[in-house]
Structure 1
Amino acid sequence: MIRTRLGVVKEITGTRKGLTECLVEAAGEIQRAVNYDELTGQLQAGDQVLLNTTAVYKKLGTGGFHFVMANLSRPEKEVQPAGHIMKMRYSPCQVKVLSVEDPDSPHAAVMQQTDSLDGTPVIIGTLHSMLAPAAAALKKLGGGRLQVAYLMTDGAALPLPLSKLVDELKAKGLIQQTVTCGHAFGGDLEAINIYTGLFACKAVAGADVIIAAMGPGIVGSGSRYGFTGVEQGEIINAVNILGGRPIAIPRLSFADARPRHRGISHHTRTALGRIALTKATVTLPKLAPDKMETVLQQLEASGISQKHQIAVLDAQPALAALQEYNLQVTTMGRGVTEDPEFFLAAGAAGIYAADILSGSKSADSTI
């Protein structure tokens, strides 16, 4: 069920493409709220709004803000004429987009003609925080020449404008284009599913490298399959079906207190060991001998090392790139200092992809 409250916009505190942040007065308190401009239009101080307050009330991990469901001061909105595809279909928030497959799209013809990724490297992550080290490594090792497209799936947040990280990466030139697929929306390009999303990255955005991962706000549980990031296995299959080159980022940590996430997370072991039916390259950073032994044992026991190629390489340049581009990224509240292996693993994938495109080889070993 949804918990709703009426509120009044007191102050606009920030804007970026597709999103407005504000302070609202609700139930006698001043609280933060987010408005998606494509759904509920523009806001201004004094507007009366209907708020979804469920997540804050339940103390869920949404950053401590409400979501504007409707602007009651200006309730009527005009739908733009282009596009026939609805996302978030049959919900009160369904939104119309011009997808790349749509006959009215200027990209429809090239999409019809595209049937292969032609070996394009596709880095596949599970957490949104993996995006920054992978993109930073690509920028640094690729000499700034690579065209990088981010394909955001609908495994977590559906509106891309929620991601401050993507906004920052685009502003700093680490990502050139964004594509949102499935029910995710708000990218530079819209696509119906993961397959056409990948083609849009390659054929329309002109990507040399694609990074595919969900947006912020992943859903997880203690069960092996109860995690939206297991989509990693299905994306690997899709990339191989389309003739791309999948590079999988393992979720790696020695800082997480939960035993199931120590070393290679049990969710990664499920996605790569059980769900992926086709081969990928799984990149690992160099680790201390005891940590590497733990990881290799997990890869063996889960069947990952038998099914996939494992590449081990020095990923320290990725951490240097994060610092060089002043990216202050965290995962589960932990930064690079607290959880270096997580960021090294994601950065290793970016380094490996850059090496593929340059023809060099930085992997010390493959398994």
Structure 2
Amino acid sequence: MIHWRRGTVSSVTGGWGPVVTVDVELDEGGVMAALADTPLVGTPRVGDTVLLNASALLKGLGTGGQALVVAIPDALPPDPVDADGARPPGHIVKARYAPLQTMVLALEEQESAHHEAMAGHPQVVAGDLEGMPVVAAELHSALPAVVAGIHADRPGARVAYVMTDTGSLPLGHSRLVAAMRETGMLTSTTSVGQAYGGEHETITLHSALLAARYVLGADVVVVAQGPGNAGSATPWGYSGISQGEVLNTVHTLRGRGVAVLRVSSADPRGRHRGLSHHTATTLGRVVLGSADVPLADDDDLSPGLREAVEAVCASATGRLSPVLVPTGGLDEALRACPVPLATMGRGYTSERAAFVTAAAAGRHAAALL
């Protein structure tokens, strides 16, 4: 269902990357904040009439407090063209069959400059990452802490981000990723499956990981869904369960999977305090191959955490290897992180356990390089 609203842009309030934020005076009265994904709908200006999707905002969901601009009917953007005025290459459709489906140039496809490598590179054909470390996180908010942990020990490491399609589909909606690219924390971004808007696009996660190593020159890859983790307070109904499928893909491609534990010392929901039930299910039941499970060597993070992790690893369907990671210097690296650290509305001070745990996973990945 969609809650439609129509109104007039009264002010442009900001933006980042491809995103522009505006205030809209609604035809029915009142003002609504809205977000425009400009590659899809164009750039709204003061005085433009806009159509909005207000469903998530009216439900109070985690959309950043804004409706979404669906169209600027009196100022439609021109058809995309390349430098020669022709239609740009690319025939892979993402967000398929949705009203705002978009066409992209995927790394794998025939029109791509990288098609030959994706079709003929021996290691790509073999599906062999040759042990490249791939860090898999459930929450998008873990991304900067993981990378801070990598760079604490390997400041020159080339870190690629691969975004799956179980959270936000537009990668450009992530303020974190925009800031991390601007500060150099990440060297490339790739959106996978139905997700779109990365610097690179792929049809599958398998292609994204192989391209990261053999086309984009990454040393380590961090994979996570975009903003907007969905949950239901049920054992299997949460979008972050895709973390397990990521680790299975890494195992299939002969990479070195590194799992980020979802840990909290401040979450008001008991099921997420200490070791989240999401992590216990994902690692214990969904992961079928092998993966490393870094655990910060700091007993102050969460009472009983080490025992809980070791129990999950011991009874898991897959072959999970718990690894104690020293935490010396990680707090300093996190405090010096050039982008904000926040998870579920809580920052580093109130949720140190979550960020140190994620940074420990990054430190372990750095040790594998």
TM tier relative to shorter chain: over 0.9
How many angstroms does 1:322 deviate by? 2.4
How many angstroms does 1:294 deviate by? 4.1
Aligned partner of 1:96 in structure 2 is: 103
User: What is the percentage of aligned positions where both structures have the same residue?
Assistant: 37
Segment of structure 1 superposing worse, 348-357 or 13-22: 13-22
- Tell me the C-alpha RMSD between the 2 structures: 1.7
User: Pick from 289, 297, 315: which aligns with 1:278?
Assistant: 289
Aligned partner of 1:237 in structure 2 is: 248
Q: Do the aligned residues in 2 keep the contact of 1:189 with 1:200 (CA within 8 Å)?
A: no
Cα deviations by residue, 1:206-252 (Å, 9 ceiling, x for unpaired) = 10000000111110121111111111111111001111110000101
CA distance in 1, matches of 2:112, 2:278: 38
Question: What amino acid does structure 1 have at the position aligned with 2:232?
Answer: S
Question: What amino acid does structure 1 have at the position aligned with 2:265?
Answer: F
Change (3 A) 1:149 1:182: same
Aligned partner of 2:20 in structure 1 is: 20
Aligned ranges for residues 25-64 of structure 1 at < 5 Å? Answer: 25-26=25-26, 27-64=28-65
Aligned partner of 1:343 in structure 2 is: 355
Aligned partner of 2:174 in structure 1 is: 163
CA distance in 1, matches of 2:42, 2:273: 44
| 1:208 matches 2:209 | no
Question: What amino acid does structure 2 have at the position aligned with 1:273?
Answer: G
Q: Secondary structure at the match of 2:347?
A: coil
Q: Do the aligned residues in 2 keep the contact of 1:263 with 1:295 (CA within 8 Å)?
A: no
Question: What amino acid does structure 2 have at the position aligned with 1:19?
Answer: V
Aligned ranges for residues 146-161 of structure 1 at < 5 Å? Answer: 146-161=157-172
CA distance in 1, matches of 2:242, 2:293: 15
Q: What's the TM-score once normalised by structure 2's chain length?
A: 0.92
Q: Do the aligned residues in 2 keep the contact of 1:273 with 1:307 (CA within 8 Å)?
A: no
Cα deviations by residue, 1:236-279 (Å, 9 ceiling, x for unpaired) = 11001111110000101121122211211111111110000001
| 1:177 matches 2:188 | yes
Aligned partner of 1:333 in structure 2 is: 345
Cα deviations by residue, 1:136-180 (Å, 9 ceiling, x for unpaired) = 12222112x111100000110110111111111111111010000
Question: What amino acid does structure 2 have at the position aligned with 1:322?
Answer: L
Segment of structure 1 superposing worse, 208-217 or 248-257: 248-257
Question: What amino acid does structure 1 have at the position aligned with 2:109?
Answer: D
Segment of structure 1 superposing worse, 285-294 or 33-42: 285-294
| 1:69 matches 2:107 | no
Question: What amino acid does structure 1 have at the position aligned with 2:351?
Answer: D
CA distance in 1, matches of 2:328, 2:54: 42
Aligned partner of 2:84 in structure 1 is: none
| 1:197 matches 2:208 | yes
Question: What amino acid does structure 1 have at the position aligned with 2:321?
Answer: Q
Instruction: List alignment gaps of at least 5 residues for structure 1.
Output: 358-367
How many angstroms does 1:305 deviate by? 9.9
Change (3 A) 1:110 1:3: same
CA distance in 2, matches of 1:307, 1:337: 34
Q: How many residues align?
A: 356
Q: Do the aligned residues in 1 keep the contact of 2:160 with 2:212 (CA within 8 Å)?
A: yes
Q: Do the aligned residues in 1 keep the contact of 2:161 with 2:221 (CA within 8 Å)?
A: yes
Q: Do the aligned residues in 1 keep the contact of 2:301 with 2:353 (CA within 8 Å)?
A: no
Q: Secondary structure at the match of 1:33?
A: strand
Q: Do the aligned residues in 1 keep the contact of 2:90 with 2:106 (CA within 8 Å)?
A: yes
CA distance in 1, matches of 2:283, 2:309: 12
| 1:317 matches 2:329 | yes
Q: Do the aligned residues in 2 keep the contact of 1:315 with 1:345 (CA within 8 Å)?
A: no
Q: Secondary structure at the match of 1:32?
A: strand
Q: Secondary structure at the match of 2:5?
A: strand
CA distance in 2, matches of 1:9, 1:265: 42
Segment of structure 1 superposing worse, 113-122 or 15-24: 15-24
Q: Do the aligned residues in 2 keep the contact of 1:251 with 1:264 (CA within 8 Å)?
A: yes
Aligned ranges for residues 253-272 of structure 1 at < 5 Å? Answer: 253-272=264-283
Q: Do the aligned residues in 2 keep the contact of 1:285 with 1:313 (CA within 8 Å)?
A: yes
How many angstroms does 1:15 deviate by? 3.2
Aligned partner of 1:221 in structure 2 is: 232
Cα deviations by residue, 1:99-157 (Å, 9 ceiling, x for unpaired) = 001100001111112232111100000000100111112222112x1111000001101
Aligned partner of 1:83 in structure 2 is: 90
| 1:288 matches 2:293 | no
Q: Do the aligned residues in 1 keep the contact of 2:296 with 2:324 (CA within 8 Å)?
A: yes
Moved over 6 A (4+): none
Q: Do the aligned residues in 2 keep the contact of 1:248 with 1:280 (CA within 8 Å)?
A: yes
CA distance in 2, matches of 1:326, 1:96: 33
CA distance in 1, matches of 2:325, 2:312: 22
Q: Do the aligned residues in 2 keep the contact of 1:283 with 1:352 (CA within 8 Å)?
A: yes
CA distance in 2, matches of 1:167, 1:297: 35
Segment of structure 1 superposing worse, 283-292 or 47-56: 283-292
Question: What amino acid does structure 2 have at the position aligned with 1:207?
Answer: A
CA distance in 2, matches of 1:49, 1:243: 48
Instruction: List alignment gaps of at least 5 residues for structure 2.
Output: 82-86
CA distance in 1, matches of 2:22, 2:322: 46
